[in-house]
Structure formats: structure tokens, C-alpha cells
């Protein structure tokens, strides 16, 4: 079966992009990274793509002052020219307009570093620590026009541990992100996830009896 063609949008480091590239290195993975698109020419993610032999494009938002529609139109053109089936936001730090989001309706994913709907927006780890939550994590969801909203495809939870600071917590969540994004893409690519309005149903989903994350650990 043909692999799903991913367009990955990055603004910086690109470690989630790397996780998708690494997953796609396995021929059994049902998707491949067809294009890495960045709004910043200096994004490290572009170097990762080039190193993996993946095509790249840069659409610099600063080239379209006051004209978001033209900026997004140029991104949309690049994605369509590369025959992209599914767009994955991976640390893409521009808010997309309803026009772009609707054009890629149910074909646009985002990874966010919190258990949504908690902690939308920026500085999620600092806010989780300030709130004193014992469990934190990350979410892959379908994008809707409102920021960090949309049907949830997959989530990973991690404990918040005594002595954690923003950095140690971010590291733990990021390691979970790297496992979660390829899993979420696989579910969609294999047709095992169905979007029913604002919720996602997943075939073969069910409790395995061993998955509760209880923090603090009971001894
Ligand atoms: C990731 O933690 C991702 O969840 C977050 O930015 C980081 C990008 O890292 N995304 C957001 O905060 C989106 N609102 P990466 O460039 O190494 O993948």
C-alpha cells in the first residue's frame, strides 16, 4: 500500500520531526516525510531533513508583512506541489488562520506539550509545575481554528517528580512526544482512527489492564 505523504512544519529544533523521520526509516511504517517546510531559514529542523535526504522549503513569514493569507497561500502551494496528504505541525510557532486550517480539515495534526485541554498556549511546563499537578504530558490532536483545540488523537502522560524544574520536566515530556507523534500518525495512516465530529474513535482501542500512571507511586 502507498505510504501516506507527510508535510512537516517546523520553526526550530525539529526533534519531533526527527522522530517522524526515524519512524519512517522502517519500510513497514505507513507514512513517509515528503517535505519539511519552515518559516525560518535557520531552523535546525531543515538540517535534519537534508541529512535524511528529505526535501525542504522555506516560506519566511517576514516576506509577507501584514498578509497572512499570502504567507499561508505560499505554504499551501508548497505542500500541494509535494503531494502532501497529511500536515504535521512539529514545533511550528505561527498561529494558522481559519483559511489554512479549513483547507487541511482533518488532515492537519499538532503536537502540544501538555495534556489538553489543560495548559493551552506557551510555557506549559512552568505552568504545570506552578499548578502542582502530579501528572503532565503531551497531546497529538487534529487542528481546529482555535489555538490548541481539536479532536484528540493520542496522549502520553508522565509523572511530575519531586525536585523537577522546567527543564527536567520538559525533557521527560519531550521523550514521550517522540514516541507519541509516530504512533498518532500510524493510527491515522492505517485508517484505525476515525474523526467523528470533535472526537476521535480508534479501532481496537481498549484497556490492557496495566496502564494506570499513579503519582505518587503506591508502595
Ligand atoms: C515540542 O515540545 C512541541 O510539543 C512544542 O514545541 C516543541 C518543539 O520541539 N510545540 C508547541 O509548543 C506548540 N504550541 P521540536 O522542534 O524539537 O520538535
DSSP for 167-214, written as a single string = HHHHHHHHHHHHHHHHHHHHHHHTT-EEEETTEEEETT----S-----
Residue with cell 494558522: 96
Domain C-terminal end among 104, 138, 169: 104
Q: Are 117 and 218 contained in the same domain?
A: yes
- Which atom, in ligand 1's list, is nearest to the CA of 13? 16
Closest CA to 157 of 174, 173, 179, 178: 173
User: Rounded mean pLDDT of 199-205?
Assistant: 91
Q: Are 26 and 82 contained in the same domain?
A: yes
Q: Are 206 and 132 contained in the same domain?
A: yes
Write out the three cell numbers for 14: 525539529
- Count of positions (residues) in the chain: 219
Domain C-terminal end among 79, 104, 129: 104
Q: Are 127 and 212 contained in the same domain?
A: yes
Domain count of the fold of the chain = 2
Residue-wise pLDDT for 44-57, tens only, equals 999 999 999 999 99
User: Rounded mean pLDDT of 64-68?
Assistant: 95
Q: Are 205 and 125 contained in the same domain?
A: yes
Q: Are 99 and 135 contained in the same domain?
A: no
Q: Are 146 and 71 contained in the same domain?
A: no
Asked whether the predicted pLDDT for residue 88 surpasses 70, the reply is: yes
Ligand 1 probe mutation, 12, 20, 48, 113, most atoms within 8 A of CB: 113
* Structural domain that includes position 26: 1-104
| Cα-trace Rg, the chain | 17
Specify the residue with its C-alpha closest to ligand 1, atom 9: 91
pLDDT category at 39 given cuts 50, 70, 90 is: very high
Amino acid at each position: 500500500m502507498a505510504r501516506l505523504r507527510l508535510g512537516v512544519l517546523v520553526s526550530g529544533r525539529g526533534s519531533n520531526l526527527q522522530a517522524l523521520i526515524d519512524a519512517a526509516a522502517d519500510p513497514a511504517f505507513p507514512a513517509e516525510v515528503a517535505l519539511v517546510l519552515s518559516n525560518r531559514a535557520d531552523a535546525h529542523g531543515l538540517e535534519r531533513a537534508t541529512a535524511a535526504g528529505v526535501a525542504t522549503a522555506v516560506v519566511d513569514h517576514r516576506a509577507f508583512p501584514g498578509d497572512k493569507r499570502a504567507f499561508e497561500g505560499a505554504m499551501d502551494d508548497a505542500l500541494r506541489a509535494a503531494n502532501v496528504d497529511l500536515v504535521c505541525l512539529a514545533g511550528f510557532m505561527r498561529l494558522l488562520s481559519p483559511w489554512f486550517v479549513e483547507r487541511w480539515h482533518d488532515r492537519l495534526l499538532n503536537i502540544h506539550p501538555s495534556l489538553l485541554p489543560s495548559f493551552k498556549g506557551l510555557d506549559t511546563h512552568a505552568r504545570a509545575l506552578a499548578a502542582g499537578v502530579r501528572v503532565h504530558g503531551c497531546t497529538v490532536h487534529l487542528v481546529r481554528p482555535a489555538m490548541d483545540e481539536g479532536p484528540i488523537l493520542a496522549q502520553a502522560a508522565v509523572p511530575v517528580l519531586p525536585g523537577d524544574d522546567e527543564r527536567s520536566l520538559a525533557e521527560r515530556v519531550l521523550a514521550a512526544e517522540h514516541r507519541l507523534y509516530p504512533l498518532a500518525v500510524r493510527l491515522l495512516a492505517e485508517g484505525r482512527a476515525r474523526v467523528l465530529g470533535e472526537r476521535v474513535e480508534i479501532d481496537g482501542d481498549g484497556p490492557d489492564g496495566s496502564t494506570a500512571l499513579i503519582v505518587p507511586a503506591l508502595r
